[in-house]
Chains A and B, each alone.
Chain A
Amino acid sequence: MSTLKAYVGSVRIGFAETFVYRWAVVIDMFAEVVLLLAFYFLWRAVFAAAPHQELQGLTFADFFAYLLIARFVATMTTSSGWGFFYEPVRSGDILLDLSRPLSLGGVTFCQHLGSKLAQLLLVAPAFLLAALLLGIFAGMTLNPWLFVLSLLIAFSAAFCFELLVSISAFYTLAQQGIHEAKALAVTLLSGALFPLALLPAPLAGVLGLLPFAHFVYTPSQVLLGNISGGALWNAMAVQLAWTLALASLSALALRRVRLHYDLQGG
């Protein structure tokens, strides 16, 4: 029970730290608006040029509704930057983190959760407002409850992936390439820029097997009701399976980190 309090405290700290930089979050939001505007005109032109003004059975309205949701989901689940451990390992502060009487993975998760909750508070109203003003969801049957569930799973999966990549900082401080590759993979393969259904079917099939699609594409499709019935449960089962796999891998990697730190003298 007492330990739980310490983790709740960690969520609070993560929340407060991000909230201090609320203006940075708001400015990021502006960048997001610019991106959405550019995409609006770009894809409108693409759709206008397509036969029947449709791509793989999608209309421009369908597409843009997806994009708005996917951008929101990506903000909530994926992370930019150089991971959780680059700074503390480089500066040596990691000794302090490792000597806290808590689990390093647990504290990192809770602080990340707090940080994302602060972002949610700052960003969600803007997305909602945009959706309402543009009448994007008019006439659609949304699936909000399953969406929340799928979003939570996506959040956990994306966190575990980020944790796994972050752990590389214990082995090499040449982090730039690693995090650029990560950002590229996550942005392109998760469905954060376009629905994966636009890709040729075999390619989309392969992407569906990778974890990235489950960080953004799956929850967005769930909300929009684009997958239903057996396919929906199937998608969420795969999403959950990836989360468990990434969680076990990162737990294993964290245990090895303590050992590695031990062997190499920190």
Chain B
Amino acid sequence: MTQENVIELSDIFKDFRVLERNGGALRSFFRPRYRLVQALRHLDLHAGPGEILGHIGPNGAGKSTTIKILAGVMSPTRGAVRVAGLDPLRRRVEHQRNLGIVIGQRPRLVWDLPVIESFHYHGLIYRVERAVLKQRTADMVERFALEEFITQPVRQLSLGQRMRCDLAMNLLHQPRVLLLDEPTIGLDVTAKKAFREVVRAAAREFGTTVLFTSHDLSDVEALSDRLVIMHRGEKIFDGTIAGLRQHLTVPSLLRLKSDAPPSVIAAVLADLPGVLGVESEVVEGDEEEAEELQTLVRFDPQRSSAASLLRRLLAQPEIAIIDFALQEPPIEDIVSAIYERNGVHAVPA
């Protein structure tokens, strides 16, 4: 059985007119020249109820434009948009009532007033009945541990507290779609964890479809079922993280603690297939232990294995392996691999 999609973007194009500034201020005033920028090209994006989509890409990839189109403040130049069955621009007000939107570091809370006032206001805007609002507020207060500061003015709260309140507020009307733009930026580890838990709960319990952009790939790993990677307005990957790992050969990493110098280890492993490189890394020790030298062996997991590398090393009498650890390629490496393959040289954003 196929469930109906909540987010449906089909073959979306979006062009912007950008004023060319290099012709001198006076000339561009009298005869402005515009350059066409294609912010989105051939974008297809579909998501069902309760799905959590992570959305990443370098600056200028088209992430914000996608969010603005879904928020009903921007029209695609070409292509069809439907969110929860509605055209976001033609039926803007109805559409926006289905939406929650949280932007990192810019909570939509009334700055000078107690948090609870913003919650009441939100209830009025999104037509949540008074009794229901009261019960949902109580629920959110419990989930997010808001009790101690819900009656304090927003400006007195820490960023983490404000973002928790903002997310809680945006869930009061149980939106069909929740858009999160860099929601965890600037949050500490505990705050991030709490934030992710509630997003996951919302998707599960209310069937809210979540689309979030993040700098923090650990967010993507912790939260999303699906990852969408964009570059220059085009989607370059859409699938699960496990799928992404298989899709690309990203080197695995064997970390060794040994009394032999890295150069010796490199010489021993040199003729094995799939060994891509041997590097050393100084690991700082704590008060008792001095800093130590570790050896990192990068290898292609499809052509070699950690076991064969270790077998070779342990067979050498002059090398004593004290400890070792195998590292899965971190998601950062996977993402930079996919960027490299697509000719991106920017920091993921």
Interface of A with B (CB < 8 Å)?
2, 5-6, 8-10, 12-13, 16-17, 20-21, 91-93, 95-96, 98-102, 258, 261-266
Contact = CB atoms under 8 A, between A and B. Distances in A.
A258 B103 CA distance: 20
B112 interface: yes
Interface string B205-219: 000000000000000
Given A101-B94, A265-B37, A265-B39, 18 more contacts: A6-B124, A6-B125, A9-B124, A12-B121, A16-B112, A17-B112, A20-B112, A20-B153, A21-B112, A91-B106, A92-B103, A93-B106, A98-B73, A101-B92, A101-B126, A102-B125, A263-B17, A265-B18
Given A96-B103, A101-B126, A266-B74, A9 B96 contact: no
B56 interface: no
Given A261-B73, A265-B39, A95 B121 contact: no
A100 B121 contact: no
A93 B74 CA distance: 15
Contacts of B74: 261-262, 265-266
Contact of B72 (A6, A12, A99, A264): A99
23 contacts: A5-B124, A6-B124, A6-B127, A9-B124, A16-B117, A20-B113, A92-B103, A96-B103, A98-B71, A98-B73, A99-B72, A99-B99, A100-B125, A101-B93, A101-B95, A101-B99, A101-B126, A262-B75, A263-B17, A264-B17, A265-B16, A265-B37, A266-B73
A91 B37 CA distance: 23
Given A2-B127, A101-B96, A265-B39, A13 B73 contact: no
A249 to B, nearest CB: 22
B119 to A, nearest CB: 11
A81 to B, nearest CB: 15
Nearest to A91: B106
Contact of B101 (A6, A16, A96, A265): A96
Interface string B83-121: 000000000111111010101001010101100010011
A263 B120 CA distance: 34
B204 interface: no
Given A91-B106, A96-B101, A99-B101, A262 B73 contact: yes
Contacts of A102: 93, 125
A266 B112 contact: no
Contacts of B96: 99-101
A265 B73 CA distance: 10
**Do most interface residues of chain A lie in helix, strand or loop, or is the interface mixed?**
helix
Contacts of B73: 95, 98-99, 258, 261-262, 266
A13 B71 contact: no
B68 interface: yes
Nearest to A10: B121
A124 B223 CA distance: 55
Contact of B125 (A16, A101, A261, A266): A101
Nearest to B179: A99
Contacts of B39: 265
Q: Which 5 interchain pairs have the tightest Cβ spacing?
A: A101-B96, A9-B124, A265-B16, A99-B71, A98-B73
Contacts of A91: 106
Contacts of A20: 112-113, 153
A6 B17 CA distance: 36
Contact of B117 (A13, A93, A99): A13
A263 B126 contact: no
Interface in B9-39: 16-18, 37, 39
A10 B125 CA distance: 9
A238 to B, nearest CB: 35
A57 B18 CA distance: 59
Nearest to A259: B75
A92 B108 CA distance: 12
A96 B94 CA distance: 16
Nearest to A5: B124
Given A98-B73, A99-B96, A9 B121 contact: yes
B65 interface: yes
Contacts of B16: 263-265
Nearest to B65: A265
A16 B113 contact: yes
Contacts of B113: 13, 16-17, 20
A17 B154 CA distance: 12
Contacts of B93: 101-102
A20 B127 CA distance: 26
A3 B177 CA distance: 21
A12 B112 CA distance: 13
Contacts of A9: 120-121, 124-125
B93 to A, nearest CB: 5
Interface in B147-164: 153
Contacts of A98: 71, 73
A93 B96 CA distance: 16
Interface string B52-82: 0000000000001100100111110000000
A172 to B, nearest CB: 12
A13 B125 contact: no
B75 to A, nearest CB: 6
B182 to A, nearest CB: 12
